Structures are given as structure tokens and as C-alpha cells.
């Protein structure tokens, strides 16, 4: 089973991981508005219904609350998300989504459902 979900479109390339994790390559900008304000760019690497794995150019720390803009180029409007950093490993970090608009949540749910339905289809030899 080899798929990657670029631009919100399912394409054959990489493995889809179990446990609801879908690998993607979506551009994103992220900002921290706390004591050390910054704006940076990154890439969303994996998505689930409750969080993202991101790689970025600016280091973050566990507990930081970030605002993110961007997402799949095929999505009509970019995501506007608020999330908390839950783990960090080098330039990669995990985010727990805590503010996602209704339209964004519906789009993400539909995208994940489509990605997971692809796992259930028989694979051609």
C-alpha cells in the first residue's frame, strides 16, 4: 500500500502508516505569539484527526501555542489553525489541534476518510 497525499490528492508513492496517520507534504507558515514572537515556514508531514507532524525552520518547545496557515494547495482556502506543541525532535514537532474552524474540520475529516478508504481497496499486482 503506497500512497502520499500531496495537494489533497491521493497519489502512489509512500506508505500510509496505520493508526489513522496519513503522510502528506503540505506547506505551512507558523507563528508563536508569546514572549519570543516569530513567524516561520515549514511542512506538514503527517496528519491525523487530532494533530499534525511538522518540520520547520524555527525551533519550538513543548507547550508552545502556535498559529498555522497553509495546508494542501488543492484546498480552496488555507487552514487557519491554533495548536499546541506536544513533542519536539530536532526540527520536527508534533501538534495537538485545539482550534480548527468547522469548514477546515469537515475538509480534514473528508480527506482522512478518503485516504483511509484507499487502504481498504484491493491493490493491483
Q: Is the C-alpha dihedral spanning 77, 69, 105, 13 positive or negative? A: positive
Mean of pLDDT over the chain: 80
Kindly report, residue by residue over 78-87, the tens digit of the pLDDT.
888 999 999 9
**Which H or E run includes 14?**
strand 9-15
Measured CA to CA, the distance from residue 31 to residue 29 in angstroms comes to 7
pLDDT higher than 80, residue 46 = yes
Other C-beta atoms within 10 Å of 88: how many? 15
Q: For the domain covering 2-120, report its CATH number.
A: 2.40.10.220
Q: How confident is the model at residue 109 (pLDDT cuts 50, 70, 90)?
A: confident
* Angle, alpha carbons 98-102-107 (nearest 5°): 100
Highest mean pLDDT (candidates 56-60, 116-120, 121-125)? 56-60
Domain extent listing, the chain: 2-120
Amino acid at each position: 500500500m503506497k500512497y502520499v497525499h500531496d495537494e489533497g490528492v491521493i497519489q502512489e508513492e509512500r506508505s500510509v502508516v496505520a493508526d489513522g496517520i496519513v503522510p502528506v507534504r503540505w506547506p505551512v507558515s507558523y507563528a508563536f505569539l508569546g514572549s519570543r514572537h516569530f513567524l516561520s515556514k515549514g511542512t506538514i508531514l503527517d496528519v491525523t484527526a487530532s494533530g499534525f507532524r511538522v518540520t520547520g525552520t524555527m525551533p519550538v518547545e513543548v507547550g508552545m501555542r502556535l498559529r498555522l496557515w497553509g495546508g494542501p494547495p488543492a484546498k480552496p482556502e488555507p487552514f487557519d489553525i491554533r495548536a499546541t506543541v506536544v513533542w519536539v525532535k530536532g526540527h520536527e514537532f508534533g501538534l495537538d489541534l485545539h482550534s480548527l474552524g468547522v469548514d477546515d474540520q469537515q475538509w480534514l475529516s473528508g480527506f482522512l476518510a478518503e485516504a483511509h478508504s484507499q487502504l481498504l481497496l484491493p491493490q493491483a499486482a
